[in-house]
Chains A and B, each alone.
Chain A
């Protein structure tokens, strides 16, 4: 399993892909950073990153599927999946190896983005509690996005389609909140309550405001697990129905 993980991480950095995507990520991060600074109220003494995190939350919808689209779709297209299908490795192990490889690349991107809080800290002062919670929320939300992206990648043999599926799935997850706020749903309190359980925006907002809640953490991890288990089911199912 570790071999596969290593190979996957390596393949991201063997092409310009990971570099370009990291650059794009940092660009977007820096833009929201600049905007936060320029619109900062002079009364504020410490710099909090809550807004930046919140802006980037939406950017993830577009970025993460680009990172995950290749995981299974490309292998299926190039018919390289036989190498791990015929090797003494189980499908859950394959899915986990690939998942953690993307998580690693994503983690490195997060590390790079630390340069902005660092600048803020050198030139001024930073609300650390809010920063740490923001990063934690950011990271766990990323885990969910990656799991969903890996899942949609397993659904098709076309990488572009995998990315589009991923984006659609994430949009649905995010806009479930907005949907819950409509009059129609609000008129049915029971339904609204169920929908709120699955609300991601509110949970993320809590993290970005510096509130660390265990139940939210469990929620993000559960959502990731569900997506990964579903990935395993998709691959197994395809193995049965098609060669």
Chain B
């Protein structure tokens, strides 16, 4: 179990992380979410002992990072944002060195290195010089390094940044596999990633926790907003009037031009049942509905809302969410 208690970090006079507390249970996958510059890496560096905290403490399996750093470090595998790989070393040599550094007994080193390479599919790269590898492979080498010494806890700082979509999928799959026998804390600024692999999420911004909950609760606590996007043939003002008169319509959000005489209307509605009267009202007045789709608010929007709002303690705030949409990297620093 990892207990983070009132963790605070000042860089000089700049407050980077303020009074953060949360707990990660055994075999749990916790997503640590926040925009760039939110204090994610600082927190992770403090959990792994790379950085001492100004105040508060981290307990790993009951060992205090400040009082017993060796015991804590033995239990943690850390993959920082920039994988700490030496460009002049070969993959196998590097991993063997890292195994030694992590005090893996000499007899076990080869086996562990082989296992880690196999898990990350880099066995055929073992003789390559790391400096000649692509970013994706370097990331994997760093990941393999984190697995050495069979740590119980894995701390992964933005493990998918800079990878291509296939590699991102692979890393997610790997995290799911590893979650069977590891406790994982991983940070990201991509919400869809969290939704894909985590049981629980901590959202952080400007050094404070903005929300901490399970994905289900986060989704359940939000007010779902129903939106319809309709492609309608007909004169714009006429169509607007018809739509506005249908009971259950809460307003038109946006009207976009599609082609001559055809516009796309984004309509806010009370619930999905409004769809039927809306269609019949339009058709009865000779306006052809060419297309109708339900617009799903993405978790991304929710994340933006939470991180841009004021600090709110530990419950999920009003977030509009549905199913996770494919994410793009948003930098809301």
Q: Could you tell me the distance between the alpha carbons of A240 and B45 in the complex, rounded to whole angstroms?
A: 12
Q: Could you tell me the distance between the alpha carbons of A138 and B102 in the complex, rounded to whole angstroms?
A: 36
Contact of B84 among A6, A79, A243 (CB under 8 A): A79
> Which residues of chain A come closer than 8 Å to B12, judged between CB atoms?
241
Q: Could you tell me the distance between the alpha carbons of A83 and B50 in the complex, rounded to whole angstroms?
A: 9
A82-B89 in contact (CB<8A) = no
Instruction: With A7-B97, A241-B12 as known contacts, state yes or no: A85 contacts B49, CB within 8 Å.
Output: yes
Q: How many residues of B contact A (CB 8 A)?
A: 33
Q: Could you tell me the distance between the alpha carbons of A243 and B46 in the complex, rounded to whole angstroms?
A: 9
User: Which B residues fall within an 8 A CB radius of A?
Assistant: 11-12, 41-42, 45, 48-52, 69-70, 73-74, 76, 78, 80, 82, 84-89, 93, 97-103, 145
- With both chains docked as a complex, state the minimum distance between the C-beta of B194 and any C-beta of chain A, in angstroms: 23
- With both chains docked as a complex, state the minimum distance between the C-beta of B280 and any C-beta of chain A, in angstroms: 62
Contact of A3 among B82, B85, B100 (CB under 8 A): B100
A11-B89 in contact (CB<8A) = yes
Beyond the given A86-B50, A243-B51, could you list 14 further A-B residue pairs with CB under 8 A, ordered by the A residue number?
A3-B100, A4-B101, A6-B97, A7-B89, A79-B82, A83-B101, A84-B101, A86-B49, A86-B73, A88-B73, A88-B74, A89-B101, A243-B11, A243-B42
Count of A-B residue pairs with CB < 8 Å: 78
> Which residues of chain B come closer than 8 Å to A82, judged between CB atoms?
45, 48, 50, 78, 80, 84
Does chain B have a CB within 8 A of A183? Answer: no
Q: How many residues of A contact B (CB 8 A)?
A: 27
**Which of B50, B73, B99 gathers the greatest number of chain A CB atoms within 10 Å?**
B50
B88-A241 in contact (CB<8A) = no
Q: Could you tell me the distance between the alpha carbons of A86 and B80 in the complex, rounded to whole angstroms?
A: 10
B86-A87 in contact (CB<8A) = no
Q: List 8 A-B contacts (CB under 8 A).
A: A3-B97, A11-B89, A78-B86, A80-B85, A82-B50, A85-B50, A87-B102, A89-B101
Say whether chain A's binding surface is mostly helix, strand, loop, or mixed.
Answer: helix
> Which residues of chain B come closer than 8 Å to A81, judged between CB atoms?
84
B102-A14 in contact (CB<8A) = no
Does chain B have a CB within 8 A of A15? Answer: yes
Which of chain A's residues has its CB closest to B85's CB? A80
> Which residues of chain A come closer than 8 Å to B78, judged between CB atoms?
82, 86
> Which residues of chain B come closer than 8 Å to A11, judged between CB atoms?
86, 88-89
Q: Could you tell me the distance between the alpha carbons of A89 and B97 in the complex, rounded to whole angstroms?
A: 13
Does chain B have a CB within 8 A of A10? Answer: yes
> Which residues of chain B come closer than 8 Å to A86, judged between CB atoms?
48-50, 73, 76, 78, 80
Q: Could you tell me the distance between the alpha carbons of A10 and B86 in the complex, rounded to whole angstroms?
A: 12
- Complex interface residues of chain A between 82 and 105 (CB less than 8 A to chain B): 82-90
Does chain B have a CB within 8 A of A123? Answer: no
**Closest A-B pairs by Cβ, 9 of them:** A3-B100, A83-B84, A85-B50, A80-B84, A88-B73, A86-B78, A86-B48, A87-B101, A7-B97
Contact of B11 among A3, A80, A89, A241 (CB under 8 A): A241
B88-A88 in contact (CB<8A) = no
A14-B88 in contact (CB<8A) = yes
Q: Could you tell me the distance between the alpha carbons of A104 and B49 in the complex, rounded to whole angstroms?
A: 30
- Complex interface residues of chain A between 1 and 32 (CB less than 8 A to chain B): 2-4, 6-7, 10-11, 14-15
> Which residues of chain A come closer than 8 Å to B145, judged between CB atoms?
83
